Amino acid sequence: MEFNASAANLLNIKVDSLILLTGSQLQNTAKLLDDSLNGAIQALIKSGDFSGKLATSCILHTQGKASKRIILIGTDGAATTQKMIKVMESAASLLRKTPSQKALWIGDSFNDDHEWQASIMARSVQTSSYKYNGSSKPSKPNKLKSVTYWCAKKSQTVSAAKGLVYGNAVGNGMNTARGLADLPANFCTPNYLASQAKKLSKGQAKVTTNILKEADMKALGMGSLLSVSAGSVEPGNLIVMSYQGAPKTAKPVVLVGKAVTFDTGGISLKGGRGMDEMKFDMCGGASVFGVISALIDTQLPINVVGIVPAVENMPAGNATKPGDVVTSMSGQTIEVLNTDAEGRLILCDALTYAARFKPDTVIDIATLTGAVIGALGKVTAGLLSNDDELAGQLLSGGTLSGDRAWRLPLWEEYDKQLKSNFADMANIGGEAGTITAACFLARFTRDYKWAHLDIAGTAWHSGPAKGATGRPVPMLMEYLRTKASS
Ligand code: BES
Ligand code: MN
Ligand code: ZN
């Protein structure tokens, strides 16, 4: 896909489709286009064929003008970032449904922030092309070849072009995450993820990949992580991908992504209903792959280490049992009261390992608790952090990218619930499951700035549209982009 920005005379650019986002009151470019079509757009509004209401649409054939068709998308009531993104996503998916190869996107519909609008446009065009195609045959090539983002002034094309590169990278990163997450667990094993990490870094000067096998993890004392993979015939891996976009001396942001390639619950076996969706229990890890891919595409001047603990959680004769006590790499002991609370058991050792990179900041991303769905539904990720500034930066990254989170507290009244009679802590608490899970992790992250994103509600859709969403790649990239430019 080719993206470019242009301020050339709009009536002369030959394309298959022109995308016009407009409300029922035609303004600026919409007016100009309407004039060139002798009032054809006004006529559609008058007749009721196009209402201009939020994300509604209508296609107008132009019979011999430079653009063969005009795709109208309604913007009335698009007063929030979230709604503007919705409009652009509708436009991109409708564009994909037409037989267009070349498209022109009118970029003056919302505001003067062309970098942002162009970025959401490119991201939407990329994510609208995603199609699950397993691990085998490549999908049919897309018809759409190029999209030009049009703005009225030549000076605006500079920021628009920046937004296009960034949005394209974010969209591709989301698709990378979705592709891995949608892949069934009989293909997407911890070893498969390790091979994909090596593939991602191959030929990339800025990226190095290192895989720690179970023997390496044993030598490091990762007894907690290894207690989760104990019952599986698939060996666990600790995948480490380092992206170096800044001088070596710059402290990295470390991203730690939970990758339980399948979560049966272990001996604390889950119920059968919907268990297939536990192939998505590696979405945190998949989002780290998505971010590394987007960093390669954007070449952001920042250092980022992606750590992905990858295991399968299975019941077996040699699986960990409720009541077993394990010793984490930090030296703290854990009573495993429930083997289905396995995410925190792999994350705690990965978080201890993260300290060796002398991080500026550590962010973990995990489909950690069903309880976060009870608290925030499938709309918003849960955010918990030991640092107010970091929490604020992630929240605003989420707002700007339309990939939002909401903060929950990490107070000691909750932490108390982790008390154990037989170890330093138990792996489950009582009420407020999302918070007690984060309190558990907080016991391993005292030495650095840290945030935890619980994405159990947002990482995938259930029902007829079942599939991974690619979240929270947009939020994380927005955070990193802002950090890299400050
Ligand atoms: N992977 C699950 C969390 C999950 C559950 C995500 C449902 C999406 C939908 C996690 O490993 C888990 O099983 N958590 C338990 C924790 C409990 C045993 C304290 C949960 O949420 O029920
Ligand atoms: Mn579980
Ligand atoms: Zn899990």
Same domain, 202 and 282: yes
Residue 338 CB–ligand 1 contact under 6 Å: yes
Q: By the 8 A CB rule, do 288 and 308 touch?
A: yes
Residue 267 CB–ligand 1 contact under 6 Å: no
The residues of the chain scoring below 50 in pLDDT are none
Domain boundary among 173, 193, 228: 173
Residue 308 CB–ligand 1 contact under 6 Å: no
136 domain-assigned: no
Atom of ligand 1 at shortest distance to CA of 278? 1
- Specify whether 140 is catalytic: no
Same domain, 459 and 324: yes
135 domain-assigned: no
Domain boundary among 150, 173, 196: 173
Predicted pLDDT at 138: 56
Buried b (16+ CB within 10 A) or exposed e, 274-296: eeeebbbbbbbbbbbbbbbbbbb
CA–CA dist 329, 325 (Å, integer): 13
Q: Which ranges of 20-155 does DSSP label H, i.e. alpha helix?
A: 28-36, 40-47, 81-97, 114-127
- Measuring CA to CA, which residue among 426, 464, 254, 438 is closest to residue 332? 426
Residue 341 CB–ligand 1 contact under 6 Å: yes
Same domain, 162 and 198: no
CA–CA dist 366, 281 (Å, integer): 8
Per-residue model confidence as pLDDT tens digits over 92-113: 999 999 999 999 999 988 889 9
Which CATH number is 70's domain given? 3.40.220.10
Ion ligand 2 neighbours (CB, 5 A) are 263, 340, 342
Same domain, 210 and 110: no
Same domain, 61 and 187: no
400 domain-assigned: yes
Token pair, residue 382, equals 């849960």
Atom of ligand 1 at shortest distance to CA of 437? 19
Token pair, residue 92, equals 């991109």
Atom of ligand 1 at shortest distance to CA of 436? 19
Measured CA angle at 342 (ends 339, 347), to 5 deg:
155
Q: By the 8 A CB rule, do 366 and 343 touch?
A: yes
Same domain, 335 and 187: yes
244 domain-assigned: yes
Total domain count, the chain: 2
Q: Which domain holds residue 61?
A: 2-130+141-173
Predicted pLDDT at 136: 55
346 CA distance to ligand 3 middle (Å): 10
Residue 433 CB–ligand 1 contact under 6 Å: yes
Per-residue model confidence as pLDDT tens digits over 195-254: 999 999 999 999 999 999 999 999 999 999 999 999 999 999 999 999 999 999 999 999
Q: Which of 344, 404, 471, 481 is catalytic?
A: 344
Query: Which are the contacts of 168, defined by CB distance < 8 A and separation ≥ 6?
Result: 1, 3, 122, 123, 126, 297
- Specify whether 270 is catalytic: yes
